[in-house]
Structure 1
């Protein structure tokens, strides 16, 4: 693996405490002298980002800190699935629902997962209202629309982004935090879409994904860490996609309706949790 220069510091900078921390964490490294500077090297860019983040927080060393994937190569896909049980389980559940609903074609199953109950009569679909649906004890409907997907592309894109964002949060803040955020963003995005469009058929993880995106974005701004450092351009691309969808161009081209209110609701909820979580993490530091 190619060595990467993590830090270039003046010779008078005392690195002994930080080097001791790296040794205790069994992080492979070496220090060299070049052009009057001391240079810290580690194998691979992924580990380098984590070590830079570690130094920004603990330049003198800290016995309590832990570095994810401190030694050795990056985890394989199977290992990541095993170490991110909720992310993997959520994707498995989503795939199962996709199979049962035939990717949006099996309305007999979809009607039990949609936000409100409905019935199909001839060429028309008749929806119930939320109050009467909840009055019958069907509270699961507040969350289950996030599991419904319409088409293979819809499923593939949402699954990809949940894996990309969910595993970061599960690694950094834990399984229970990711579960709480997923349920919160699912609830908020579903309620936002129902409030905006009224009784209708909608579904997908997109609202949750925008919540996870907003959470990682603002958390990272307040408490920088390697886990939440998204690839360049991802945030701009996702926000640009949101704005394009809001123009109504896809409905105009008859590609289907987009649940824009769910996206916006999820994003606002994620920004709120990101601000709170990032502020608490920064205060603890």
Structure 2
């Protein structure tokens, strides 16, 4: 069969239990030895990614996990993608619920539940912010994270949701749902704190800081330990970085399109690059690469 390399492991690694699992699942494969390493081959790239994910979770051949062994000519349908990306979908569902509760950021009475600092309106267009320390002392720790769920307008929500679906499910598929949730919360925390440090008391929100974190994670991880899941379409990273520079230049503000949370973007990107570096190095060590 025409083959795609799924895994390359040191010869000392015992693949017996895992190979037995592949046989029970009727996964077509073969194993060869090259330069003192074991190489596991499968018919196509999609199946190769599934096999890698399976091995990361069940190297000892846990029989309760199944993969789709038959190669497909078409990609999985939307329902199948939802099943494979439940954490990604869950985060987006919560985001949509918050968008509805806050009427896309236009209802101060509910918006104040999710902002980094609690506030009250003074008149029609002025917000009085309460100290963050007071809110935290009252147990309102969720404020450190929930600004990532706030969106101001349909376009803001749609663009961020589209990119979170694109990047989030890649990470969930490659590294698991709980890591995706941890990264999302971590990037949200970092981006919110940095934005607060840059802008001071103000209304800010959106998934864009988290998105730059996910982008940085996929980008650097892919450079350290290449994997099909993190192989982004050509030009995506460059486009996002150029957009970041345009926002940092202040052009968007001058054109009257609203304020951009540049601190959140930069903070998320730096945090994502660091997590991608650490994750990529760990993956290389796990795979026995130099």
TM tier relative to shorter chain: 0.7 to 0.9
Q: Which residue of 2 aligns with 1:199?
A: 201
Contact 1:50 1:225 (8 Å CA) reproduced:
no
Q: Structure 2 residue aligned with 1:231, among 230, 233, 236?
A: 233
Contact 1:4 1:48 (8 Å CA) reproduced:
no
Relative to structure 1, the CA distance from residue 197 to residue 256 in structure 2 (aligned partners, 3 Å threshold; closer, same or farther) is same
Q: Which residue of 2 aligns with 1:58?
A: none
Relative to structure 1, the CA distance from residue 69 to residue 249 in structure 2 (aligned partners, 3 Å threshold; closer, same or farther) is farther
Contact 2:99 2:105 (8 Å CA) reproduced:
yes
For 1:181-209, what per-residue CA distance to the aligned partner results, in whole angstroms no more than 9, with x for missing partners?
A: 01100000000000111111000000101
Give, in angstroms, the shift of residue 70 of structure 1.
4.4
Q: Which residue of 2 aligns with 1:34?
A: none
Instruction: Give, in whole Å, the separation in 2 of the partners of 1:67 and 1:242.
Output: 41
For 1:2-57, what per-residue CA distance to the aligned partner results, in whole angstroms no more than 9, with x for missing partners?
A: x99869xxxxxxxxxxxx99x8475679xxxxxxxxxx995xxxx447649989xx
Q: Which residue of 2 aligns with 1:80?
A: 81
Poorly superposed stretches of 4+, deviation over 6 Å: 52-55
Give, in angstroms, the shift of residue 135 of structure 1.
2.1
Unaligned runs of at least 5 residues, structure 2: 6-18, 30-40, 53-58
Instruction: Give, in whole Å, the separation in 1 of the partners of 2:220 and 2:163.
Output: 18
Give, in angstroms, the shift of residue 136 of structure 1.
2.2
Instruction: Give, in whole Å, the separation in 2 of the partners of 1:231 and 1:118.
Output: 41
SS at match of 2:228: coil
Cα RMSD over matched residues? 3.1
Q: Which residue of 1 aligns with 2:99?
A: 98
SS at match of 1:88: helix
Q: Which residue of 2 aligns with 1:283?
A: 285
Unaligned runs of at least 5 residues, structure 1: 8-19, 30-39, 56-61
Relative to structure 1, the CA distance from residue 49 to residue 75 in structure 2 (aligned partners, 3 Å threshold; closer, same or farther) is closer
Given the two structures, how large is their TM-score scaled by the length of structure 1? 0.79
Q: Which residue of 1 aligns with 2:109?
A: 108
Relative to structure 1, the CA distance from residue 179 to residue 232 in structure 2 (aligned partners, 3 Å threshold; closer, same or farther) is same
Relative to structure 1, the CA distance from residue 189 to residue 28 in structure 2 (aligned partners, 3 Å threshold; closer, same or farther) is same
